[in-house]
């Protein structure tokens, strides 16, 4: 995987697990001034753009429990299959590709300290 500036709508999405999606949506909107991106709304996910910061988003993911430090920084790629294979060829253990709805595909991997990172391909 080579990071380049040709990703599309978003280059980077940071996932934050929350236990109450609607309350968290209001908090991120009201307290942080983030802008909801309704095209990505699902029963378990809400995504926000950040005013004046292009191609970067924060996504709220509904979870039954939330562990401190469970946020996942995600690189948005044009071709998740190729990006995943490139990481595997470099010796990185990468999880399977999962379709999470609306054509969005995800795959997660860890850095050398065990921090979760992700790959995401939008439809």
Instruction: List pLDDT tens digits, range 31-43.
Output: 888 899 998 899 9
**Which of 81, 89, 88 is CA-nearest to residue 121?**
81
Q: Which residue has the tokens 């990505």?
A: 40
In this structure, the strands spanning 35-36 and 116-121 are unpaired
- Is the separation of the CB atoms in 57 and 7 below 8 Å? no
48 three-state secondary structure: strand
pTM: 0.64
> How far is Cα 96 from Cα 108, in angstroms, rounded to an integer?
8
**Which of 31, 27, 26, 37 is CA-nearest to residue 76?**
37
In this structure, the strands spanning 72-76 and 116-121 are parallel
25 three-state secondary structure: helix
At residue 5, does pLDDT exceed 50?
A: no
Q: Taking residues 20-38, report their average pLDDT.
A: 89
Q: Taking residues 62-88, report their average pLDDT.
A: 86
């Amino acid at each position: 995987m080579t990071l380049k500036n040709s990703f599309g709508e978003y280059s980077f999405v940071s996932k934050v697990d929350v236990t109450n999606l609607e309350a968290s949506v209001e908090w991120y909107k009201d307290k942080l001034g983030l802008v909801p991106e309704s095209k990505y709304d699902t029963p378990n996910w809400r995504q926000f753009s950040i005013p004046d910061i292009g191609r970067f988003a924060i996504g709220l993911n509904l979870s039954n429990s939330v562990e401190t430090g469970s946020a996942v920084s995600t690189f948005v790629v044009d071709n998740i299959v190729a990006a995943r294979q490139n990481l595997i060829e470099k010796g990185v253990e990468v999880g399977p590709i999962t379709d999470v709805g609306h054509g969005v595909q995800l795959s997660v991997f860890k850095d050398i300290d065990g921090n979760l990172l992700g790959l995401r391909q939008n439809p």
